[in-house]
Amino acid sequence: MNELAIGVDLGGTKIHLAAIDRSGQTVVESIVPTEAKQGSAAVLNKMVNGIADILSRLKDVSREGDVVGIGIGSAGQIDFSSGTVAFAVDTLPGWTGTPIRDKVTERFGLPVYVDNDVNVIAIAEKNFGAARPYNSFVCIALGTGVGGAIVEEGRLVRGAFGGAGELGHISVDFNGPRCSCGNHGCIELYASGTGIARVAAEMINANGWQPKWQADSREVIAAWNSGDPHASEVMAKVISALSTHISSVIHTLNPEAVIIGGGVSEAGPAFFEALREETGRRTGAAMWKATTLLPAEIGSGAGVIGAAAQIWHYGTNTINHG
């Protein structure tokens, strides 16, 4: 039997569901809008119905019996031991406290794992992507916000309740703007998609620029790659902030690798070349020599692939592995 696992990548705007085989290949998949404003019960019901739909589609191709478990990666801080949402921001209103694992187990009677969405990306990269050669590494996801995951000797570092790895809320400027987390100058305010847009708007207003591009991360990065001088100034600030952040992570954790994923990381080779150069200048020589800084390999499907891969990463006999 070629085993399959159901993966669910649950975010504030969409739910990506798929059946994944042991090689990380997608057999069937679907994407549905989260419609988070309808409340946590409606979101949970939509996710459960989406899993049922995937199982039904597998039944049509005589593969339903191959499914050995369900893995879920959710936005928010997840208590891995109970599969419950410890804390979620306002993009998923009412999601805090949702007992995801219990509800899904009750419905389907299969082993279920639930973890933070960036933790499961780390599992995807470890099993199928850029992290395969490494036992100790850090994943940083540069998307709408900035997320992180820490792997030490092959195990995810979880902290007191599963909140470890909130790398987006490491400050790079204690006098910087206030972040939603309560801190000031968090890297999320500089290197996320929304952060790049914020920095660009601030610099446009401060300098009286009239660029042909809008204060939008995609437009800024495209203009930078085409040699626009104002976009280059914006990205120099972004890269300085991000390299400061990565240097702090390297000095704290001494990882074998720092793997950068998310939409912003798709800025291209010039982005990684500049980031490596600046991070190297800010990091102790021995620490920097021991670390490889590289892009994630799997891309936009990493969340759903990593969610499913939890089943094989931890095993199917228990749902309480760390």
Answer for the pair 18, 54: CB distance below 8 angstroms, yes or no: yes
| pLDDT tens-place string over residues 46-78 | 999 999 999 999 998 888 889 999 999 999 999
| pLDDT tens-place string over residues 210-258 | 999 999 999 999 999 999 999 999 999 999 999 999 999 999 999 999 9
Judge whether residue 162 has pLDDT over 90: no
> What values do phi and psi take at 244, rounded to 5?
-60, -45
Number of residues assigned to the chain: 322
Structure tokens at 70: 């369900």
Answer for the pair 307, 9: CB distance below 8 angstroms, yes or no: yes
| pLDDT tens-place string over residues 128-150 | 999 999 999 999 999 989 999 99
Per-residue confidence band for 320, with pLDDT thresholds at 50, 70 and 90: very low
> What values do phi and psi take at 80, rounded to 5?
-65, -35
Rounded to whole angstroms, the Cα distance separating 240 from 190 reads 9
> What values do phi and psi take at 70, rounded to 5?
-130, 130
Tell me, rounded to whole angstroms, the distance of Cα 87 from its chain centroid: 16
For a pLDDT cut of 70, what percent of the chain falls above it?
Answer: 98
Rounded to whole angstroms, the Cα distance separating 175 from 177 reads 7
Amino acid 91: pLDDT: 84
Q: Provide CB contacts within 8 A for 39, sequence distance 6+.
A: 93, 94
Rounded to whole angstroms, the Cα distance separating 202 from 224 reads 17
Rounded to whole angstroms, the Cα distance separating 303 from 47 reads 15
Give the residue carrying structure tokens 């000095």.
Answer: 251
Judge whether residue 203 has pLDDT over 70: yes
Q: How many helices (H) and strands (E) does the chain have?
A: 10, 12
CA dihedral for 289, 290, 296, 298, sign (positive or negative): positive
